[in-house]
Structure 1
């Protein structure tokens, strides 16, 4: 940053960043939920100084510190200016995730996850759907095969998985 832009930044008072305040509030709520959940957790070992509750408390404290830091930076207006938001790619990704959740038990892991892959690729501006859907299904089937057959873990099986 040049000296001139630093001086301009000091001279013009920055406006508080409302979006960063929302992020700070979300971090604080998450920290409080983790803290409370850990405090009310039953069965935690009391015989040791550092037990199973120590790490969630540390995460909670770290998130709370980040929330305060984010709020201070938001108040100062120190966050860089954000570019314009594009909603169409987000809608493709969220739509693909919704489709996967709705179709997972009906068509199985491979097809549902292949559709998620294709929608996410479309959201990132990659490939036509006629190409990314089969690629996604093949990759998801390989993942299903490794987990279901190799590791003996249970993933939703549809008509494609029933063949194997």
Structure 2
């Protein structure tokens, strides 16, 4: 017997990706709350101090986490498209290469590699073209920041060749 249930209505499970996002938001909020609690005595005589803005951000993130949980259980999120993993891998590889090479190869080469691999992730197939273009652009950025603005960026063999 059907017992009054409509067989045409299907109950979907909560959106697991949304619940994961809510958990990450709650974890970040908890981390900020913990960090702010260590600074509690720094307010001094005023009600507004160095803990005010981080505390407000943590409250907003906690509220977003709760909102995301409710949306996950109501299945309010639209159906997601299939995610292509190869562009993500190219971009993450570029970021990893930049972090690993920054102090060894210098800003221009390391960031030029990031530029080329990110361009590859976005569909530019000619690495032989995007790598030197990326290095040249990043060298120009290094010159502007390190020489004109006197900011400290890691210098490598290319930078030492010219300066």
Indicate whether 1:148 and 2:143 are aligned: no
Report the Cα distance in structure 1 between the residues aligned to 2:117 and 2:54, rounded to whole angstroms. Answer: 35
Deviation larger for 142-151 or 19-28: 142-151
1:14/1:76 contact within 8 Å kept: no
State TM-score, norm by structure 1.
Answer: 0.90
Report the Cα distance in structure 2 between the residues aligned to 1:43 and 1:140, rounded to whole angstroms. Answer: 44
Report the Cα distance in structure 2 between the residues aligned to 1:39 and 1:16, rounded to whole angstroms. Answer: 33
Partner of 2:4: none
Structure 1 residue 142, shift from structure 2 partner: 1.2
Runs of 4+ in 1 over 6 A off after TM superposition: none
Report the Cα distance in structure 1 between the residues aligned to 2:46 and 2:158, rounded to whole angstroms. Answer: 50
Report the Cα distance in structure 2 between the residues aligned to 1:40 and 1:154, rounded to whole angstroms. Answer: 31
Indicate whether 1:92 and 2:90 are aligned: yes
Deviation larger for 40-49 or 146-155: 40-49
1:114/1:140 contact within 8 Å kept: yes
SS at match of 1:155: coil
Once the two structures are superposed, the pairs formed by residues 97-108 of structure 1 within 5 Å of their partners are: 97-108=95-106
Structure 1 residue 43, shift from structure 2 partner: 5.9
Report the Cα distance in structure 2 between the residues aligned to 1:115 and 1:79, rounded to whole angstroms. Answer: 36
Partner of 1:5: none
SS at match of 1:44: helix
Report the Cα distance in structure 1 between the residues aligned to 2:133 and 2:45, rounded to whole angstroms. Answer: 53
Structure 1 residue 95, shift from structure 2 partner: 0.6
Structure 1 residue 51, shift from structure 2 partner: 1.0
Length, aligned pairs only: 155
Report the Cα distance in structure 2 between the residues aligned to 1:104 and 1:42, rounded to whole angstroms. Answer: 37
* Backbone CA RMSD of aligned residues: 1.5
Taking a change above 3 Å as real, the CA distance of residues 72 and 103 of structure 1, as seen in their structure-2 partners, is: same
1:35/1:57 contact within 8 Å kept: yes
Unaligned runs of 5+ in 1: 1-9
CA deviations on 1:77-97 (whole Å, 9 max, x unpaired) are: 110011111111111011111
Partner of 1:76: 74
CA deviations on 1:8-54 (whole Å, 9 max, x unpaired) are: xx944333100110000000000010011011127623210111110
